[in-house]
Amino acid sequence: MEALIALVLVIALFAVLGSGLWIGLSLVAVGVVGMELFTHRPVGDSMVLTMWGATSSWTLTALPLFLWMGEILFRSRVSDSLFKGLAPWLNWLPGRLLHANVVGCTIFAAISGSSAATCATVGKITLPELQRRGYPEHMAVGTLAGAGTLGLLIPPSIILIVYGVAANVSIAKLFLAGVVPGLALGLLFSGYIVVWSLLRRDQLPPPEAGSGWWQKLNDSRHLIPVVLLIVLVLGGIYSGVATATEAAALGVAGSLLLSRIDGTLSWATFRDGLVSACRVYCMIGLILAGAAFLTLAMGFIGLPRQVAELIGALHLPPLGLLVLLTVFFIVLGCFLDGISMVVLTIAVLLPTVQAAGFDLIWFGIYIVLVVEMAQITPPVGFNLFVLKGLTQREVTWIARATLPLFVLMVVAVLMTYLAPGLALWLPSQMQG
C-alpha cells in the first residue's frame, strides 16, 4: 500500500512540476494532496506551523546575506582584477591561461557561495580573453563549467548552509569540511588541463612573452582586495570571532566597500543587487518551506520509514549504498536544481545514512559533490544554461565539452569515500 502511495505522490509531483508551477508551490501542493487523501490530520495548522518553522531559523539568515554579497561582487570589477592578477603567474603551466578558469573560480567561490554566480562572473572575463588569444573553445567552456561548480563546495557555500539547517549540523564545520575537497577537485581539474595540453600541444596558441618578476608582483596587487575579503569572511568564521551570519554581514559590508572603491557602486547597482538577492532568496525560501511541509506530510503517511526499511532490506554495504545514492542523485539532478534536491530528500535519507555509519558532516560534502555533477547534467544543469547565455552554444555541445570534468567529479566522490579525512580533518580541529 505504501509503495502505491509513494508512486502516486511521485507521479503527482512530476506532473505538477511539468505544468510549470513554481517548485516550492509544487511541493506544497503534493503535500496537501498526500495529507488530504492518505491521513486524517488537519492540513491547515500543520502547513502553517511547518512552513513558518522552516523559514524562521536564525541560522538561515546567513543565506540572503551571502547571496547579496555575491550579487554586489557580480556587479563590481573584482573578477576583472582577478584575471589581471592571475594571468602572469599561469603562463609557465602546461595549458597556460586555461588554468585561469580553475584558479579564478576557486578564488571567486570563496567570496560568492553560488555555482551559477561563480561560473557567470569568471566566464564573463575569461571566455572572451581565451577566445581572443586562440585557446580551443571546447576546453575553455568545459573547464569553466566544471570549475564553476566549486562555488557550491568551497565556503561560504549556500547549499552547505541549506544542508546544515536541514540536517541540524554545524555550518562552520561544514564550511571547514568543504575546503580540502574543494581544493582537491580544483587540482584534479588543473591536472586534466595539464594532461590534455601535453597531448594536444598543436591546439594551443603560441606562448606569450613572459613577464619579469617585478611586473608579476605589480600585477598581483589586483588580488589584494579579493584576498582581504576572503580573510574577512572565512577568517571570522574559522577563528570563532563571528558566526556564519555575522561573517556574511561583514562580507556584505566588505563587498560594498570594494564596489565603492572601484567605482561600480551606484544607487542602481545597489538596488539591482539587493532586488536580485531578495528574488533568489524568496525562491529558495519557498522551496525550503514547501519541502519541509512535504517532508512532514510524508512522515505522517509513513513513507520515510518505508523507504529506510526498503533500503535497509537490501543489506547493501556502505559503498553499495553510496553508489545507489549517487545514481539516484544524478538522475534526480536531471530534473531538479541542487537546493531542491537537498531539501526534498535529506529528511528521508538521514536515518538510513546514520544507520550506515556515515558522518553527517562528511555526508554533507558528498551531497554537494553529487549536486555539483547535477549542475553540468542536462537537461536542468544550471551551469549549462549560464554558459549557453555566455557562448550562444547548444546545451548538448556544452555538455559534451564538460563530460571529462563530470568524470573527474566521480573520481572526487570516490576519493572522499576512500579518504574521509579529506573532509573531516579540518572540522575535527575546530573546538565545539
- Residue range 14-52, pLDDT digits in tens: 777 667 777 778 878 888 888 888 777 888 878 888 888
Compute CA distances 85 → 57, 81, 90, 112, 342, whole Å: 39, 6, 10, 18, 36
Asked whether the predicted pLDDT for residue 304 surpasses 70, the reply is no
Asked whether the predicted pLDDT for residue 218 surpasses 80, the reply is no
Asked whether the predicted pLDDT for residue 117 surpasses 80, the reply is no
Does residue 216 sit within a domain? Answer: no
State the average pLDDT for the chain.
81
DSSP of 20-81, one letter per residue?
T--HHHHHHHHHHHHHHHH--S-HHHHHHHHHHHHH--GGGGHHHHHHHHHHHHHTSSHHHH
Least confident of 133-147, 256-270, 340-354: 340-354
Higher pLDDT, 276 or 385: 276
Question: What letter would DSSP give residue 267?
Answer: H
Q: What is the rounded CA–CA span in Å between residue 399 and residue 280? A: 25
Q: How confident is the model at residue 321 (pLDDT cuts 50, 70, 90)?
A: confident
Does residue 209 sit within a domain? Answer: no
Q: How confident is the model at residue 345 (pLDDT cuts 50, 70, 90)?
A: confident
Place of cell 578558469: 101
Domain that holds residue 65: 2-10+22-203+222-428
Residue range 397-423: mean pLDDT, rounded: 91
Does residue 17 sit within a domain? Answer: no
Asked whether the predicted pLDDT for residue 210 surpasses 60, the reply is no
Asked whether the predicted pLDDT for residue 92 surpasses 80, the reply is no
Residue range 415-423: mean pLDDT, rounded: 92
Does residue 76 sit within a domain? Answer: yes
Q: How confident is the model at residue 212 (pLDDT cuts 50, 70, 90)?
A: low
Tell me the pTM.
0.75
Give me the pLDDT at residue 66, please: 79
Q: Tell which residue, 156, 162, 195, 143, has the closest CA to residue 339.
A: 162
Higher pLDDT, 307 or 171: 171
Q: What is the rounded CA–CA span in Å between residue 218 and residue 401? A: 35
Residue range 128-153: mean pLDDT, rounded: 86
Does residue 214 sit within a domain? Answer: no
Q: Compute how many other C-beta atoms are within 10 angstroms of the C-beta atom of residue 411.
A: 12
- Tell me: the pLDDT tens digits for 252-271? 898 899 888 888 888 988 99
Does residue 194 sit within a domain? Answer: yes
Name the domain count of the chain: 1
Does residue 16 sit within a domain? Answer: no
Greatest mean pLDDT among 169-183, 201-215, 366-380 lies in 169-183
Report how far Cα 308 is from the mean position of its chain's Cα atoms: 27
**Side chain identity, residue 105:** C
Q: How confident is the model at residue 1 (pLDDT cuts 50, 70, 90)?
A: low
- Tell me: the pLDDT tens digits for 49-89? 888 877 777 767 777 887 788 788 778 777 677 677 777 77
Asked whether the predicted pLDDT for residue 356 surpasses 90, the reply is no
Greatest mean pLDDT among 75-89, 202-216, 349-363 lies in 349-363
Tell me what percent of the residues of the chain surpass a pLDDT of 90: 14
Asked whether the predicted pLDDT for residue 319 surpasses 80, the reply is yes
**In degrees to the nearest 10, what's the CA dihedral of 282, 237, 162, 166?**
-130
Q: How confident is the model at residue 343 (pLDDT cuts 50, 70, 90)?
A: confident
Greatest mean pLDDT among 19-28, 94-103, 414-423 lies in 414-423
CB distance 97 to 138 below 8 Å: no
Rg, Å, the chain Cα set: 22
Give me the pLDDT at residue 184, please: 93
Does residue 15 sit within a domain? Answer: no
**Side chain identity, residue 120:** A
What is the 3-state secondary structure of 82-97?
HHHHHHHHHCCCCCHH
- The full length of the chain comes to 432
Asked whether the predicted pLDDT for residue 195 surpasses 90, the reply is yes
